[in-house]
């Protein structure tokens, strides 16, 4: 391994020197890294059975009888190809994506040396798209888990996998970005973005650094027709390791629940709260009987770190909490009224929460009034209600809706229409908190 490290250092130096000279020396090669890594990357083929979706007409018994259609649902065989990474040679443990094996009845792992083994699923997590398989095999190679947090944009990486079923294929590139989320690919997203060519069949394969360490599991691409366009995504090993640990210890993944709603801190919110940085997650609602409530977390608190790790936005906070189990304790770094404090909270059991929306707009064109007695939140929430919104107004374009409740203006609680009008009439810029059903969010008005 010492020789490999020295070779990599020389490669890096030569690549840097060659950029100036305009010529890459003939003896510069990433082959030592590939030889170390490739035997631990496997090809995965699966076979399964899925129920075929059919027209609602087929649910009519007379229609089925007339056309002699069987009552049992129709099924068809499926087959798919993907990749995987051996991370424990002694136990035969293989990492891959959930979507590679999620619908499989039979999973076959193909090693680089030509051996094939039927695999069993140790556990799988659809939300993070991570799965752990096991094969009964000897003389395996494994990849060491690297530190994905240590990656920097511009670092060289290699993608190894099974694109289009071609077998072991290696491509190279750089880290294009880190912490990509909000793509709608997975429920929990914190992707490494790379321009190393990733294509169909690379899913579950290895993204490695020039030390031959696994830093990510290749997962998705953005490109026309599913082809490579220089934008690929990998799950960082930090997330993979947390999910894998739960799978190996418990057989499944359970996620802790802090019990809040919130949104990302943007420039307007940072300015209104007097924050020095535009980052963090602002708490808009604390659920009753939640771990957050019991720990003393309050609305308008801005969470900037979890267990000492910085939080960039609300998605980042959700990822950090979602990698822990119910009953785990987390230390939250919170800014409240301009002062930083540490709050320890015990996570409850996970349940799906309505997500807060981010809204940036003016209230122009929105008419306010008292909360009527028949409003679903009447008696539970104090404030004023948006009675009507003009078509084409800035309020309508911003996403405000008839029936929204305004509970705070400029961080002052509003309990009546008179209070709301007094605050609005004495200021030119507003930070407004809105309640809509079970969600709560801020609107900044200039």
Give the whole-angstrom CA distance, residue 353 versus residue 368: 28
Give the whole-angstrom CA distance, residue 333 versus residue 240: 24
Question: 3-class DSSP state for residue 374?
Answer: coil
Give the whole-angstrom CA distance, residue 424 versus residue 38: 65
Other beta carbons within 10 angstroms of residue 30's beta carbon come to 17
Q: Which of 98, 99, 110, 408 is catalytic?
A: 99
Give the whole-angstrom CA distance, residue 284 versus residue 275: 16
Is 129 among the residues known to form the active site? yes
At residue 295's C-alpha, the angle toward residues 294 and 297, to 5°, is: 105
Other beta carbons within 10 angstroms of residue 364's beta carbon come to 14
With a CB cutoff of 8 Å and minimum separation 6, the contacts of 62 are none
Other beta carbons within 10 angstroms of residue 379's beta carbon come to 9
Q: Which of 125, 129, 195, 301 is catalytic?
A: 129
Element holding 31 (H helix, E strand): helix 31-37
Reading the block at residue 360, the tokens are 């940036």
Phi, psi values for residue 199, rounded to 5°: -130, 180
Is 203 among the residues known to form the active site? yes
Give the whole-angstrom CA distance, residue 403 versus residue 338: 33
Is 172 among the residues known to form the active site? no
Residues annotated catalytic, as ranges: 99, 129, 203
């Amino acid at each position: 391994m010492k020789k490999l490290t020295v070779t990599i250092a020389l490669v890096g130096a030569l690549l840097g020197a060659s950029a100036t000279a305009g010529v890459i020396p003939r003896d510069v090669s990433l082959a030592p890294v590939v030889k170390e890594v490739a035997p631990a990357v496997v090809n995965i083929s699966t076979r399964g059975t899925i129920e075929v979706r059919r027209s609602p007409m087929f649910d009519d018994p007379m229609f089925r009888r007339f056309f002699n259609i069987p009552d049992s649902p129709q099924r068809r065989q499926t087959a798919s190809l993907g990749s995987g990474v051996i991370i424990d040679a002694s136990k035969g443990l293989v990492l891959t994506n959930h979507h590679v094996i999620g619908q499989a009845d039979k999973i076959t792992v193909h090693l680089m040396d030509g051996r094939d083994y039927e695999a069993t699923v140790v556990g799988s997590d659809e939300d993070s798209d991570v799965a752990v398989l096991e094969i009964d095999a000897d003389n395996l190679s494994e990849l060491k888990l690297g530190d994905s947090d240590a990656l920097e944009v511009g670092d060289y990486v290699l993608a190894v996998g099974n694109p289009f079923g071609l077998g072991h294929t290696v491509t190279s590139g750089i880290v294009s970005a880190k912490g990509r989320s909000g793509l709608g690919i997975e429920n929990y997203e914190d992707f490494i973005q790379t321009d190393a060519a990733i294509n169909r069949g690379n899913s579950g394969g290895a993204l490695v650094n020039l030390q031959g360490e696994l830093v990510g599991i290749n997962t998705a691409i953005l490109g026309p027709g599913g082809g490579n366009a220089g934008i690929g995504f990998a799950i960082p090993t930090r997330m993979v390791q947390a999910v894998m640990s739960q799978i190996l210890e418990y057989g499944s993944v359970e996620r802790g629940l802090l019990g809040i709603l919130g949104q990302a801190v943007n420039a307007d919110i940072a300015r209104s709260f007097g924050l020095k940085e535009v980052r963090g997650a602002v708490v808009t609602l604390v659920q009753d009987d939640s771990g957050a409530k019991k720990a003393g977390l309050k609305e308008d608190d801005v969470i900037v770190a979890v267990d000492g790790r910085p939080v960039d936005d609300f998605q980042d906070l959700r990822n950090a909490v979602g990698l822990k189990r119910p009953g785990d304790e987390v230390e939250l770094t919170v800014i409240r009224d301009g002062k930083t404090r540490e709050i320890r909270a015990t996570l409850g059991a996970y349940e799906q929460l309505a997500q807060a929306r981010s809204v940036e707009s003016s209230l122009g064109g929105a008419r306010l009034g008292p909360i009527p007695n028949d409003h679903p939140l009447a008696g539970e929430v104090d404030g004023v209600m948006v009675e009507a919104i003009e078509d084409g107004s800035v309020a309508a374009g911003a996403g405000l809706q008839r029936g929204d409740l305004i509970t705070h203006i400029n961080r002052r609680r509003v309990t009546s229409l008179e209070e709301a009008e007094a605050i609005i009439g004495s200021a030119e810029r507003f930070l407004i908190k809105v309640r809509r059903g079970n969600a709560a969010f801020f609107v900044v008005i200039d």
